[in-house]
Amino acid sequence: MTVYYQISLADPNAHEFEVRMRLTLPGEGIAHLSLPAWIPGSYMIRDFARNIVEIRAISTETSSLCLIKKDKQSWILHGQPGTAELVYRIYAYDLSVRSAFFDNTRAYFNGTSLFLCHEEEMANPQEVELIDGGRRDLANWQVATGMPVVDADQRGFGIYRCENYEELIDYPVEISPLVRADLQVAGVDHQMVFVDAEGIDSARITKDVAPICAEHVAMFGELPVDSYLFMTLATSDGYGGLEHSNSTSLVCKRSDLPYQNTVGITKGYRTYLALCSHEYFHLWNVKRIRPLVFQESGLDAEVHTELLWAFEGITSYYDELALARAGVIQPEDYLDMLAPSLSRYFRNHGRHRQSVAESSFDAWTKFYKQDENAANAIVSYYNKGAFVALGLDLWMRENSDDRLCLDDLMRRLWQGYGKPGKGIPERGIESEVASLVGISAQGFFDDYIYGTVELPLEQWLAGFGVGLCKRAAANTDDGGRFVKELQETQAPSNTLQAVVTDEKGLLKVERVTNGGSAQQAGLSAGDQLLAIDGERCGEPNLAHLLNRRPAGQEVEVTYFRRDMLKQARMVLQGGPLDTCDLYWLEESKLSEEVRKRKKAWLRSSQTVD
C-alpha cells in the first residue's frame, strides 16, 4: 500500500508546516511510527521529533484510533484494520541544510524532519502532495526538488512519488522565489536554483560549474543519475552543504557569488565552486560508495565507522583539485587554496592525540560537538583526511612506477562497491589499495590513518613539485598563500598562543593552545585579560605589550576569572611557525619522474592522450 503525505504551508509566522499522513493499518490494527534521529551525511543526533509541536490521529464515527508515544521519536497507532490518518505540525526554523525552515520568505525541508516513517510500510511507495492553500502571498513561490513528479502545476505544487521511505527522505525541497539556471553535463540535464540571490550572474556560474562536474564524471567514467539539482541559499555569512542522491543543498555567502560586474574569480567565488565540486563528488563517494555499517543500520541511533576520513577527506582532496584539472582556475590558484588548509592542519594540535580513524568513529560526540579544547584534543577527518588522500595518491604513484594513482582507487571502489550497491567493510579500502598496487599498504595506514604519526607533508608535496614554507602569521587573517618563489622567513613576534576576542573593551580568552605561553601561565577559556606588566591591554595594543621584551623573558598578566582578580607570570614565546606558503619547486631541479608526475597530477580526466 502507498503511504500518503500532504504538506501544507500552514503558518509562516509560527514557522509551522502541517502534515496530513494517510496510511494503512494491517490486519492486527497496529502501526509503528517514527521520525529519524539524524540525517545521512551529518553525523550528529539531532532528534528531529522534538520539533513536532502537535500530533493527533483522526478518528471517525465508525473507526476509533489511539496514538501512544513510545519514546522520544516513536509512536504506536492502534485501530481497526484499514485506512488511518494523522495530522501533525512541525516547527521549522533551522536555517541550515540539515533540517527545515519556514517563514514568510521561503520554505525548505528535508524528509527526515517532516515525514513520519510507517515502519511496516517503509519499503512501499510513498506519495507526497505539496499544496499552497491558494494563498496569494505565495503566488511567486516555486518548488525545487529532485523528487520524481507525478502531477504538478507550472510552479511545482502537486503530487510526487518515491519508491520507498529511504528514497523519500533523500529529496530536500525548496519552495520560494527562485533564480533558475540550466546546464548539461555528459548529456544529462542539470539545474541550479538560488534563493535570496537576486542580480547574480547565473549564466557565469553554470559556465564554471559544468566543467567541474564533467571532470568528476570523466574520472569515475559514468554519471549515475538522469538529472541533478543544485539548491543554493545565499546569506550574509554562511557556508555548508549536504549531499543527496540526485541533488545537493548549499549555503554560501551572498558576496561569494559573482554578479554582472564581477571581474575574475574571487577567493569567495573559488570557495563556492569548491563547495559545488565537493557535494557533486559525493554523488559517487558517500551516496553510493559507502561504509557497510551504513547499509546495515537505521537512523534511530549513532552508526559508527572509522571510514569518514575516506568519504569526506578524499572528497575534500578532490573538490579543489578538480577546479584546476577542469581549467576553471589556474594551478597556482589551487595552491593558493591549499595553503590555508595546510595552516589549519598545523594549527590543530589535536592531530598528535587523535587519528583520523578515531576522528571518524567519534564524529558523533567529538567532531560535531566541539568545545573550547577541541583544537587540542581532536583532528578533522575533513582536513587531515584530505592530506592523507594526497599522501595516498603519491604512495600509489611511487609504488606503481606512476602507472596508478588515487583516481584508479576511486574507480575501483565505484565499480566494485558503489555501482553494485555493496557496502565497504571497515578495512576494505586498505585491502583494495594493496590489491590494486600489488604490495601491502599496512605501514601507510597504520602510521597516518590509524596512528598519529606526523604527516610528512613537505616530502609529499615535493613529490608533486610543490614547495612548502612555514612561517609565523602576519595577522589573524593570514592563513598562508601561493608565492612565486621561496621567501625569507623572519623571526616570529611574541604571541599569547591563544585565541582572544574583544568583549566590551576586554579581551576574552576563547581557547588556549597546548603548551603555549597563555596555558603555561594558567590562563583558561573564559578568562578576561586586563593588563600586562600593569598596563591595561586591549585589541589595539596587545601585540605591542607582548613584544616590548624579547622571547624568553617574563611579564606579569592580570586577568579576571569568575569575577575574581588574578595575577600570573608568563614567559614570552614567539608565535608558532604554522602558516603555510606554497610555491613551485624550480622546474630545472626536478627529476624527470617528478616533472611527469606533476603534469599527470594536474591533468584533466577529460584529456585524451
pLDDT digits (tens, 9 = 90+) for 321-370: 999 999 999 999 999 999 999 999 999 999 999 999 999 999 999 999 99
Answer whether residue 490 shows pLDDT above 80: no
Does residue 143 register a pLDDT over 90? Answer: yes
pTM of the predicted protein model: 0.96
Is 20 or 503 the better-scoring residue by pLDDT? 20
Q: Return the pLDDT at 62.
A: 63
pLDDT at position 504: 84
Distance of alpha carbon 184 from alpha carbon 190, whole angstroms: 5
**150, 4 Cβ separation under 8 angstroms:** no
**Residue 207 pLDDT > 70, yes or no?**
yes
pLDDT digits (tens, 9 = 90+) for 402-414: 999 999 999 999 9
Q: Which residue's C-alpha cell is 516555486?
A: 142
Inter-residue contact 123 to 32 (CB < 8 Å): no
> In the predicted model, is pLDDT for residue 608 greater than 90?
no
Q: What is the pLDDT of residue 27?
A: 85
In order of start, what are the domains of the chain with their CATH numbers?
Answer: 3-175 (2.60.40.3650), 179-267 (3.30.2010), 292-461 (1.10.390.10), 494-574 (2.30.42.10)
pLDDT category of residue 60 using cuts at 50, 70 and 90: confident
C-alpha span between 107 and 569 (Å, rounded): 55
pLDDT at 377 over 90: yes
Question: Is a pLDDT exceeding 70 seen at residue 609?
Answer: no
Q: What is the mean pLDDT of the chain?
A: 95
pLDDT band for 155, please (50, 70, 90 cuts). very high
- How far apart are alpha carbons 459 and 457 in whole angstroms? 5
Angle between helices 592-602 and 383-398 (to 10 degrees): 130
pLDDT above 90 (res 19): yes
Report whether pLDDT(451) > 80.
Answer: yes
The predicted-structure confidence for 112-130, as pLDDT tens digits, reads as follows: 999 999 999 999 999 999 9
Q: What's phi and psi for 260, nearest 5 deg?
A: -60, -30
Portion of the chain with pLDDT greater than 90, in percent: 91
Distance of CA 166 to the CA centre of its chain: 21
Beta strands in 14-123 (DSSP E): 16-25, 30-34, 52-58, 65-71, 74-79, 82-91, 100-102, 107-109, 117-118
The Cα–Cα gap between 144 and 247 comes to 10
Q: Kindly state the average pLDDT of the residues 135-145.
A: 90
Please list, in sequence order, all residues whose beta carbon lies within 8 angstroms of the beta carbon of residue 26, skipping any fewer than 6 positions away.
81, 120
CA distance 284 to 220: 8
The pLDDT assigned to 61 comes to 65
Q: Is 77:83 a contact under the CB 8 Å cutoff? A: no
- Average pLDDT, integer, range 229-258: 97
Core vs surface per residue 389-404: b (16+ CB within 10 A) or e: bbbbbbbbbebeeeeb
User: What cell does 212 get?
Assistant: 567541474
Nearest Cα residue to 310 out of 433, 206, 455 = 433
160, 150 contact by CB (below 8 A): yes
Grid look-up 517514527 returns: 34
Share above pLDDT 70 across residues of the chain, in percent, rounded to a whole number: 99
Which residue, among 154, 134, 114, has the nearest Cα to 3 in the 3D structure? 114
The predicted pLDDT at position 491 comes to: 80
Contact 277, 320 (CB under 8 A): yes
- Does position 244 have pLDDT exceeding 90, yes or no? yes
Average pLDDT over residues 212-217: 98
